[in-house]
Structure 1
């Protein structure tokens, strides 16, 4: 039986990937770097959704290198979450992931598991050590993601900041560091994931079949002043095959779903304080 290992299981993208495979009855080992004390209500909600599955096992990031996995297994490494989470311990997490990859390679490249990097389009330099480590791993794949939005989106991202009614300076700072050339709703990405992973291409960039997807989301989230100040964006193309994702969720519906989810989380947080 194949096992899926998801590094970043309690983050945004990693959580949906974990949930997707558990819903299919697959076995998932979740790895994460979040400290539960930081956002206990969020962690509890996510644990209720995936932690009760008999097919799910969790390990903290510092236990990653102790895992023994086979070449039939697939490891998803959510560099996207590591980048957009804006955490302080990025170097520590990268070191743990690097040690894990080197351990896999010591067993022989033919015995290495399938490794899938989920990368942000806008930044590669931070993850150069990981990219270099998998260069010789034949069964490794890199999937470049545009801005992904939906419930549980990272707090540092612009749509989340706008929905939570942060000040203009916070929103503008988030936009300045975000890829605005394209966007995907998170479940549309996850539903396309298995077909993308099965592709023979080693490096793939996902795109939406909805034109100006990010801008259409922005119009649903930000006030007119911010929208009018946005500079025209040109989609960035990495040295990768372009795979277009068919979107079943339009921007208005996706933003409404994220807004509704945030309202529920806000109420939950208030109830916890009572």
Structure 2
């Protein structure tokens, strides 16, 4: 199949060439009903993501060669696309030199520990990148909204979190905090899709089921979190995630633009 001409839409020669590429043809055939504009947009996004993924490999090579440490936090409402973004970001980097951390509910033993302790145990060693699919900020929003922590525990967290992050950064670690933001309508749409897909049903949890009902409560605690923890040295990067492809590009671009890496020779990468 090739694209020669289209009606009702102006395409440049470059556009037609993109649509005739393997990526372009896959985009055209991804839906039962052909949508040229959508296919062109998806093709351009895919090419941009691949360009950024290639650059991220260079960034990781620098991390490995120079024994750097990077922590990237992904926060946001349920179904905001955090996990999917992490998978695209890490798709081609060296799996031996990065970790994805998505901690389950604390054990009885962990519940009695200093709150940050189990996160400290997951921080990167030199030459490593760690991506948190939700992080210590569970205690800033999810836990108080759902009654999983006491008011005193919440207040204690808010008093300690900024100092905790300064200690991380003082240990020569780069810290990036992403918040994936979606509308209430988009969340409802994604929940409906998840529930109707037998391959994704497992993603819905009891907390997810209550997310729409508790939307305003989540908003209230989210605002408090931003007001208290959006610091000059560790700001929140708000990512508009209603369109997943755009969100992934923004996150990748931000990492590449804000971590001052250098190109290293291949022999320097162990």
Give the TM-score taking structure 1 as reference length.
Answer: 0.34
Give the TM-score taking structure 2 as reference length.
Answer: 0.34
**Greater RCO (Cα-Cα under 8 Å, separation 6 or more):** 2
Specify which structure has the higher proportion of strand. Answer: 1
Specify which structure has the higher proportion of helix. Answer: 2
